[in-house]
Structure 1
């Protein structure tokens, strides 16, 4: 493990042309202090977690001191927001501070959110508040624990600097860590400004640093786009299977590496609602839970259009046409694992359809349904289940489905013990429900950060039991299901 001053930097993005971003230093926050540090992300960077408890750490990441190796850049990109192209985007409250190189040669971006105004702030203050920083910090930990590709968050820092939203709040900084912060919008920016040579340069950069096996491929850009399509399909399958709604799937929030990016008004499903809208600002439901697969394809089409100087139409169409098939394949694997069904039979489609109808009409808690199901041996599926009675209003439709499920399981070759073990590996007991994040935020705003660290513990291993934190796995209170989260969060 290294100290901060021992980190090795390899700032490749800063070597790109100047119009790829603007060099700018963070604007200091007053009297900064640590809220929480994630030791698992320290491990990624080979950073000693004890460093986070030093005043130097807080000063470095809040603009009050310098670290040799940092070359802060506000990245320039554009993108489609709610379907409309916006040319005025970029890191408006963030900075790419530098790229840490580990002993194994792995490159990690260090990125600040809440570092002050940049040329892309669009009249904003460039700041982040404590509540939104905590939400992203916990969400990235939750996704990592669930095995879903994501950006990470090393730590949250808070300050005495007031930041004004609906009311005065504490200014904060989130230290984000990712393999790359390249977005669909980076390519859109270069395409729409007709910088086609730079578009090729950025594609070459992506291939060199992240798809290096394509460097000698006879059609590297076509395969690059195909890989982005595949990574996106896998990501969306993961989201849909676990019940995650992103809330702001603009193209500037889409990663070319298939990472969950820019956590804002996200939400995990409580009661199963196919049309669940987690973003209170999404008035039309464009980014509703059940719209995410089609919106991802829309975004990929926008990226494909931006890559037309490098690809012909047939190459773009081939990749886009493969998206739905790959998504369905990946989603099917995940849902079969959730039900412990390994073999394929004709009646499976009807079984899944009936299950989703049951979940929707009965407003069943999505996570608890599958976790409870993961504890019931096949021989007991026809009996009474008090745990189910706590989350389902009418037990009669459930029992009809359970009988069909039990009959389907007789066609499986695996043992019942193996089925249940498999299901518990794919049905988390703990998810980051909105009310849990909100409760942790309210405590943190009073200076108590203990719930944040408790949540980190269970979110790191959400498939385990964690008896000391059983209350985090309980059915949410009614008020917790109706929290309004918007982009301003």
Structure 2
């Protein structure tokens, strides 16, 4: 049985996680060895038993003192060989050639019950060579936020990193004020970002670039290896994955908030939930992030920003795509032009599902855009409006209208919708059930998350956190006794700004 390597304040204990670390096979410019820094009084806040089972980990052991030591960074399995990853990135359009994991430590990888290799990473476990002026720690609030939102996104069916555990450290971290510290155990398909490719490209290290691209192909896109041009195929596959991901976001009213290239995973998973939020009232220009002064990452800009980020990936890959710079640029530009068709098709797919339409007509896109325009004009709640659509009886004439659909622009739109539904072959009850499976009743409401964080930070009360996680695990279920979690913020409760919390 592997033995734990001791670090300050840690005991030597048996370990049952058989880590691998294939990322270490890459050139060592891409990572730095690091050991987590111990904390004084770790306390398990929550363990994700379902995810532990998926990863073939023993949840009982993870709850033990030995498991807690591993989840807090107080002990490291000898097989894990922990590292921090290097990357660069465009942050709000400005290139920073040296970033990297400043407060995240990759313990290693496990192969889950589906045969998929997954990273296990500690966030907030201490300084790394990439910490710059940071302390390498995480405050409790951002850890709880990422746990809540990443697990909610998984339940909503969105590709995302996951949260395995949240641990309180018993120590304070200094931000604008002193705050309780915590460590999040994050699970990801990998932590390779667009910025990872930018990092090696900026150093003109074609050997490292090729090694990284080959690794990503082998781990995430093995079909690219069979293509005539594997690196162009890789670019095309990442473009498609990101287009589908962002389309899924906008179909749910999700705003990432900080779509820098170092926050875009080439695996196609949502990663880094710092200032993220969900729309209450529909507004395509909505910005929550306190650091997004000019609205670069506004809700309605997310597809354009994603395409811009992917152009940066394409630039990094140019030396691999073709030995002729002109031919490489032409092929990369052709690939990038597929982003918006992929995005539009995926978005239309999700929006048709939200309207309960199983067939396609050329007028559907206009019907969807007119609904969104009416919602914007009426400041209608994004999530509740779509959920209410499933209750609209549209099979008879005249249409019986309910709630907001009986008023103003939505009244006129409802008549058009009723006419469109008559072209759909499914029985009303089948359509209603399909719509309820496409339109969540519960999302991580921003004001609810703030209530959870306040209770935990101010009072040490984690009951609201556990309750919210449980509700969001079944976002499409009615859960009548949890109706309050579906409600939009009352006057004075609306969250206007969100923060990275780093």
TM-score range, shorter chain: over 0.9
Judge conservation of contact 2:71–2:165 (CA < 8 Å) in 1. Answer: no
- Counterpart selection for 2:99 from 86, 89, 95: 89
**Alignment partner of 2:282 out of 272, 287, 293:** 272
Q: 2:347 aligns with which of 331, 347, 350?
A: 331
Q: Which residue of 1 aligns with 2:250?
A: 240
483, 487, 498: which one pairs with 1:470?
A: 483
Cα offset, 1:196, TM superposition:
0.8
2: CA distance between counterparts of 1:4 and 1:181? 27
| CA displacement at 1:60 relative to structure 2 | 1.5
**In structure 2, which of residues 437, 447, 463 is the aligned counterpart of residue 450 of structure 1?**
463
- 1:485 to partner: Cα distance: 1.0
Aligned equivalent of 2:431, options 413, 419, 423: 419
Counterpart position of 1:383: 400
SS in 1 for 2:122: strand
Which secondary structure state, in structure 2, belongs to the residue aligned with residue 112 of structure 1?
Answer: strand
Report how far residue 53 of structure 1 moved. Answer: 2.4
1:315 Cα deviation after fit: 2.3
Per the alignment, in what secondary structure is the counterpart of residue 282 of structure 2?
Answer: coil
Distance 2:221 2:366 in 1: 40
The correspondence for 2:416, drawn from 397, 400, 404, is 404
Match in the other structure for 2:163: 153
Residue of 343, 356, 373 corresponding to 2:372: 356
Q: CA offset at residue 103 of structure 1?
A: 5.5
CA distance in 1, matches of 2:466, 2:61: 17
- What's 1:484 paired with? 497
Residue 60 of structure 1 corresponds to which residue in structure 2? 70
Structure 1 residues not aligned, in runs of 5+? none
Q: Is the 8 A contact 1:382 1:399 kept in 2?
A: no
- 1:143 positional shift: 0.7
* Equivalent pair of 2:55/2:113 in contact (CA under 8 Å): no
Looking at structure 1, the residues matched to 151 and 495 of structure 2 have their Cα atoms a distance apart, in angstroms, of 23
Which position in structure 2 is the counterpart of 1:320?
336
Instruction: Return the offset for 1:400.
Output: 1.5
3-state SS, counterpart of residue 319 of structure 2:
coil
Whether the aligned pair in 1 keeps the contact of 2:163 and 2:186 (CA below 8 Å) is yes
Counterpart-to-counterpart distance in 2, 1:191 and 1:384: 57
Q: C-alpha distance in 2, partners of 1:347/1:65?
A: 59
TM-score (norm 1): 0.95
Output aligned runs, 1:65-80, within 5 Å: 65-80=75-90
Q: Which moved more, 1:395-404 or 1:172-181?
A: 395-404
Aligned equivalents of 1:206, 1:247: Cα separation in 2: 26
- Of residues 442-451 and 210-219 in structure 1, the stretch that sits farther from structure 2 once superposed is 210-219
Q: CA-to-partner distance for each residue in 1:111-159, whole Å, 9 max, x for gaps? A: 1110111121121111100000000111110110110000111010012
Question: Unaligned regions of 5+ residues in structure 2, if any?
Answer: 1-12, 322-327
Pick aligned residue for 2:125 from 109, 115, 120 = 115
Do residues 260 (structure 1) and 265 (structure 2) align?
A: no
Report the aligned-residue RMSD: 1.8
Equivalent residue of 1:160, what SS? strand
Query: 1:36, 1:452 within 8 Å by CA — same for their partners in 2?
Result: no
Q: How far did 1:353 drift?
A: 2.5
Counterpart residue number, 2:388: 372
Q: How many residues align?
A: 482
Does residue 1:342 correspond to 2:358, yes or no?
A: yes
